[in-house]
Amino acid sequence: AQNYRITLLPGDGIGPEIMTVTVDVLKTIAKQYDLQFDFTSVPIGGAAIDETGEPLPAKTLETCRNSDAVLLAAIGGYKWDNLPRHQRPETGLLGLRAGLSLFANLRPATILPQLIDASTLKPEVVKGVDIMVVRELTGGIYFGQPKGVFATETGEQRGVNTMAYTDGEIDRIAKIGFETAQKRGGKLCSVDKANVLDVSQLWRDRVTQMSEQYSDVELSHLYVDNAAMQLVRDPKQFDTIVTGNMFGDILSDAAAMLTGSIGMLPSASLGENNPGVFEPVHGSAPDIAGQDKANPLAQILSAAMMLRYGLNQPQAAKRIEQAVLQVLDLGYRTGDIMSPGMKPVGCRGMGEILIQVL
């Protein structure tokens, strides 16, 4: 059997319960595809702060580095919201991205026919929406220097962050954008604010230059404000979107919400010489934590993305994705995606049914 070391980062809130269910699913898949998973669970975020005082203990990062893939659930919660920045759960997440050089974040926003009514948009507007947002994840304003709050000459405070990209940073994410578009509908939309920002003009120039190597991909450019509008106006026009860290944060969440069911959306964060991190788009939902109410499907679909992008096991990935659709076809729904006439289940129940289907 092919052996994989998987680091589990259950994190906070509903993280541990959706992770438990997902590990059970992976164990079932392992038997069917002759795989072997060695799971190591380590703390991150609030859980790590409580245990060690730090949101990303050195041992956690080390364990991630030494594995074949990392499965992350969710981090954060009210409890840690007022700590200083270097001790916040989010800082652990940013540290993980930087520590593993995960420069490419893939965020699909797909409308499932079974859940089309969950969207706040009209069915004819969202039917068939299938967008992949490729977001740069280790550069831009999230990491640019200088940053901080400084005293000015007049004694005022001045908060500063720097949005910066080098040629090389743009080129490597643009490449992922073009390659992703090639494997999908062949259309790439690059989003920037080149009419105002110098860094965006460089972004646009580099992406345009690179497009010469991808004659099979149809490249377009949108300003970020217009992109936000177009996502609401006619999301079907998009296939693959490539953009920087901040714009990607905003647009991928907007795109996700078009589906109306963010409890269903996975994501992948990939680097070059390190394992990828796979996690749901939704947060840690502290208000329903520990009540067996959480929807584990985004976590399970993140495990599928791990199999596909992290471990090169596309068949096993596909099997999980199909099983999720089957469970929906059978009418099972957690609270967040419940609709009249469907069968309500909890987090564990959803996992059990999925395993039966598998």
Ligand X SMILES: CC(C)[C@H](C(=O)O)[C@@H](O)C(=O)O
* Interface residues toward ligand X, by CB under 6 A: 90, 93-94, 195-196, 225, 249
Give the C-alpha separation, 2 to 35, whole Å: 5
3-state SS, residue 50: helix
Contacts of 4 (CB under 8 A, 6+ apart): 35, 36, 37, 38, 68, 69, 311
Interface with a copy of itself by CB under 8 A: which range of 108-116, 229-237, 295-303, 335-343?
A: 229-237
Does 55 carry a binding-site annotation?
A: no
Does 244 carry a binding-site annotation?
A: no
What DSSP letter does each residue of 84-99 carry, written as one string?
-GGGSHHHHHHHHHHH
Residue 71 tokens read as 């499965």
Indicate the DSSP class of residue 260: T
**Catalytic option among 12, 192, 239, 249:** 249
Indicate the DSSP class of residue 313: -
**Catalytic option among 142, 214, 223, 309:** 142
Shortest Cβ distance from residue 85 to a copy of itself (Å)?
A: 7
Interface with a copy of itself by CB under 8 A: which range of 29-37, 64-72, 95-103, 149-157?
A: 149-157
Give the C-alpha separation, 190 to 151, whole Å: 37
Give the C-alpha separation, 12 to 48, whole Å: 9
Q: Is 336 a catalytic residue?
A: no
Of 4, 37, 103, 142, which one interacts with a copy of itself (CB under 8 A)? 142
Shortest Cβ distance from residue 177 to a copy of itself (Å)?
A: 17
Calculate Rg over the CA atoms of the chain. Answer: 20
Verify binding: residue 82, a copy of itself, rule CB under 8 A: no
Q: Are 71 and 19 in contact (CB under 8 A)?
A: yes
Q: Is 253 a catalytic residue?
A: yes
Verify binding: residue 257, a copy of itself, rule CB under 8 A: yes
Shortest Cβ distance from residue 88 to ligand X (Å)?
A: 9
**Catalytic option among 165, 193, 214, 239:** 193
Residue 327 tokens read as 């469970």
Verify binding: residue 254, a copy of itself, rule CB under 8 A: yes
Give the C-alpha separation, 91 to 76, whole Å: 10
Residue 311 tokens read as 């471990």
Shortest Cβ distance from residue 349 to a copy of itself (Å)?
A: 26
Q: Is 332 a catalytic residue?
A: no
Verify binding: residue 258, a copy of itself, rule CB under 8 A: yes
Binding residues for NAD(+), as ranges, are 77-90, 283-295
Detail the residues annotated as belonging to a binding site for substrate: 97, 107, 135, 225
Binding-site residue numbers are 77-90, 97, 107, 135, 225, 249, 253, 283-295
